[in-house]
């Protein structure tokens, strides 16, 4: 191993006390006068490492570094295995602890193996001489670029990156497999069921009663007076296990106006009952609840970004960033006079998503 240490000459040019005078062409107030009066102590005496004297010790160090990188690979595989063997069961804290413990041990080995291996490599095998790197301007000259290439070449030569293929290959192997636990973990965040099917359907179905939000009491058509507005959920929603997810799709606003004020398109003539109409409460822009009703104009206003929907014309957008009307829930009454749905919404509620075709 070459010894590049030169304590006397190396220290002779660094930090020597320098008096700088203000250049004549400097702008007033911008020139800096530097007087570095700290003596450069120079480099400490070079101490040869055991590996510098005995090549056999270098080979031992090389094996230790490779072992650490292999340990990192083992840790990565162990982390993935632990994540699969110890799945988290909702409500079971022991399963959470076991999962976190063994996943953590695996990932710790993976990261420590690379980190300690790299430090051990540099401490025991790379050249151990001191270096002086003079400060230079940020503008790169041809000489600077040539020097950079030379630095890379020297780095490669001195670290043995190209020469010590066992270390290099095990390091590359460790770096390649280290991100694998992240891929496994993030993939597991994806929903188990197809989300598109879930977005296309709500709890509403034929003959489902319209009930008050949040009490769940059914609503008679006679309860809905002219100009009134009701916040509505489907009957049975309060008993659903995924109540909040279902409510986020099925929430509805119910309003009554004069039947002659409505302008239904062909095929929708029987979607309202005696001037009572029901529309999705989920804004088609980015999904805020559209909860502000202007009784005089029959406009619904979304408070998030001020989209406005005209209820007299099937909730068409008359202002704001929303691009689609609010979906209408077809309604009628049952034999007891309670309002019921004729079907689910005929299109997905809420904002657009990639797979939406309507
Ligand atoms: S979410 Fe309603 S206007 Fe943006």
Over the stretch 87-118, which tens digit does the pLDDT of each residue have?
998 888 999 999 999 999 999 999 999 999 99
Per-residue confidence (pLDDT) for residue 106, from 0 to 100: 96
Per-residue confidence (pLDDT) for residue 2, from 0 to 100: 37
Residue 16 has pLDDT above 80, yes or no: no
* Residue 31 within any structural domain of the chain: no
Regarding whether 285 and 173 lie in a shared domain, the answer is no
**How far apart are the C-alpha atoms of 17 and 248, rounded to whole Å?**
72
Ligand 1: distance of its center to the CA of 351 in Å? 9
- Residue ranges around ligand 1 (CB below 6 Å): 283, 285-286, 288, 302, 304-305, 307, 320-322
Regarding whether 289 and 325 lie in a shared domain, the answer is yes
Regarding whether 147 and 1 lie in a shared domain, the answer is yes
Q: How many domains are contained in the chain? A: 2
Regarding whether 173 and 245 lie in a shared domain, the answer is no
Task: Place 45 in a pLDDT band, splitting at 50, 70 and 90.
Answer: confident
CATH of the domain at 242: 2.102.10.10
Establish how many alpha carbons lie within 13 A of residue 143's alpha carbon, considering only the half-sphere containing its beta carbon: 3
Average pLDDT, the chain: 87
At 242, phi and psi to the nearest 5?
-105, 55
Per-residue confidence (pLDDT) for residue 9, from 0 to 100: 39
Predicted confidence (pLDDT) per residue in 126-150, tens digit:
887 777 777 766 778 888 889 999 9
How many percent of the chain have pLDDT more than 70?
Answer: 89
Q: Is 235 in contact with 209 (CB distance < 8 Å)?
A: yes
Atom of ligand 1 lying closest to residue 306 CA: 3
Ligand 1: distance of its center to the CA of 219 in Å? 28
Sign, CA torsion 244/245/246/250 = positive
Atom of ligand 1 lying closest to residue 307 CA: 3
Regarding whether 71 and 2 lie in a shared domain, the answer is yes
* DSSP label of 57: H
Q: What is the mean pLDDT of residues 220-229?
A: 93
Ligand 1: distance of its center to the CA of 321 in Å? 7
Regarding whether 301 and 166 lie in a shared domain, the answer is no
Per-residue confidence (pLDDT) for residue 91, from 0 to 100: 84
* Residue 82 within any structural domain of the chain: yes
* Residue 226 within any structural domain of the chain: yes
Regarding whether 337 and 256 lie in a shared domain, the answer is yes
Atom of ligand 1 lying closest to residue 322 CA: 3
Q: Is 128 in contact with 43 (CB distance < 8 Å)?
A: no
Which residues are CB-neighbours of 253 under 8 A, at least 6 positions away?
229, 230, 231, 232, 278, 279, 280, 281, 290, 291, 293, 300
Helix (H) or strand (E) holding 122: helix 93-124
Residue that terminates a domain, selected from 158, 174, 190: 190
**How far apart are the C-alpha atoms of 151 and 133, rounded to whole Å?**
11
* Residue 312 within any structural domain of the chain: yes
Regarding whether 297 and 251 lie in a shared domain, the answer is yes
Regarding whether 272 and 124 lie in a shared domain, the answer is no
* Residue 41 within any structural domain of the chain: no
How many percent of the chain have pLDDT more than 90?
Answer: 65
Nearest alpha carbon to residue 167 among 72, 77, 55, 67: 67
Per-residue confidence (pLDDT) for residue 129, from 0 to 100: 78
Per-residue confidence (pLDDT) for residue 304, from 0 to 100: 94
Mutate to test the pocket of ligand 1, among 280, 302, 323 (most ligand atoms within 8 A of CB): 302
Regarding whether 333 and 233 lie in a shared domain, the answer is yes
Which residues are CB-neighbours of 352 under 8 A, at least 6 positions away?
284, 323, 324
Q: What is the mean pLDDT of residues 170-178?
A: 94
Q: Is 284 in contact with 323 (CB distance < 8 Å)?
A: yes
* Residue 4 within any structural domain of the chain: yes
Ligand 1: distance of its center to the CA of 95 in Å? 41
At 18, phi and psi to the nearest 5?
-130, 135
Going by alpha carbons, the residue nearest to atom 4 of ligand 1 is: 305
Ligand 1: distance of its center to the CA of 293 in Å? 15
Calculate the alpha carbon distances from 258 to 255, 273, 291 in Å.
10, 11, 21
Regarding whether 318 and 215 lie in a shared domain, the answer is yes
* Residue 354 within any structural domain of the chain: no
* Residue 205 within any structural domain of the chain: yes
Residue 201 has pLDDT above 50, yes or no: yes
Residue 211 has pLDDT above 70, yes or no: yes
The two three-digit tokens of residue 174, written as one number? 């460790």
**How far apart are the C-alpha atoms of 85 and 107, rounded to whole Å?**
15
Ligand 1: distance of its center to the CA of 189 in Å? 27
Nearest alpha carbon to residue 268 among 313, 207, 323: 313
Atom of ligand 1 lying closest to residue 305 CA: 3
Per-residue confidence (pLDDT) for residue 17, from 0 to 100: 41
Mutate to test the pocket of ligand 1, among 285, 292, 300 (most ligand atoms within 8 A of CB): 285
Domain of 171 in residue numbering reads as 1-8+52-131+143-190
Regarding whether 160 and 218 lie in a shared domain, the answer is no
- List b or e across 131-153, with b for residues whose CB sees 16 or more CB atoms inside 10 angstroms: eeeeeeeeeeeeeeeeeeeeeee
Predicted confidence (pLDDT) per residue in 310-337, tens digit:
999 999 999 999 999 999 999 999 999 9
Ligand 1: distance of its center to the CA of 310 in Å? 15
The two three-digit tokens of residue 187, written as one number? 């993939």
Angle subtended at Cα 232 by Cα 229 and Cα 233, rounded to the nearest 5 degrees: 175
């Amino acid at each position: 191993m070459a010894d590049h240490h030169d304590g006397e000459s190396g220290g002779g040019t660094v930090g020597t006390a320098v008096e700088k005078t203000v250049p004549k062409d400097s702008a007033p107030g911008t020139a800096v006068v530097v007087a570095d009066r700290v003596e450069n102590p120079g480099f400490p005496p070079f101490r040869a490492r055991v590996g510098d004297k005995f090549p056999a010790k270098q080979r031992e160090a090389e094996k230790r570094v490779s072992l650490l990188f292999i340990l990192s690979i083992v840790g990565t595989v162990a982390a993935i295995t632990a994540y699969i063997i110890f799945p988290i069961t909702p409500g079971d804290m022991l399963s959470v602890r076991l999962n976190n413990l063994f996943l953590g041990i695996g990932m710790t080995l993976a990261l420590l193996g690379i980190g300690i291996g790299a430090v051990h490599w540099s401490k025991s095998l790379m050249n151990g001489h001191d270096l002086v790197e003079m400060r230079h301007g940020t503008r790169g000259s041809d000489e600077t670029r040539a020097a950079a290439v030379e630095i890379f070449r020297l780095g490669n030569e001195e670290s043995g990156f190209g020469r010590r293929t066992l270390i290099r290959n095990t390091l590359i192997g460790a770096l390649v497999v280290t991100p694998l636990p992240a891929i496994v973990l993030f993939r597991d965040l994806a929903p188990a069921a197809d989300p598109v099917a879930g977005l296309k359907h709500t709890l509403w179905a034929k003959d489902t009663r319209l009930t008050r939000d949040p009490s769940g009491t059914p609503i008679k058509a006679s309860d809905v007076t002219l100009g009134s507005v009701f916040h509505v959920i489907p009957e049975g929603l309060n008993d659903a296990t995924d109540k909040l997810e279902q409510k986020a799709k099925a929430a509805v606003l119910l309003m009554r106006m004069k039947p002659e004020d409505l302008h239904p398109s062909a095929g929708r003539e029987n979607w309202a009952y005696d001037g009572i109409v029901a529309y999705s409460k989920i804004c088609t822009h980015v999904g805020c609840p559209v909860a502000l009703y202007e009784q005089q104009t029959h406009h619904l206003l979304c408070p998030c970004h001020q989209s406005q929907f005209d209820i007299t014309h099937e909730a068409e957008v008359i202002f704001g960033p929303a691009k689609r009307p609010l979906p209408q829930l077809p309604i009628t009454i049952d034999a007891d006079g309670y309002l019921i749905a004729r079907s689910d919404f005929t299109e997905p509620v809420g904002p657009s998503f990639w797979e939406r075709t309507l």
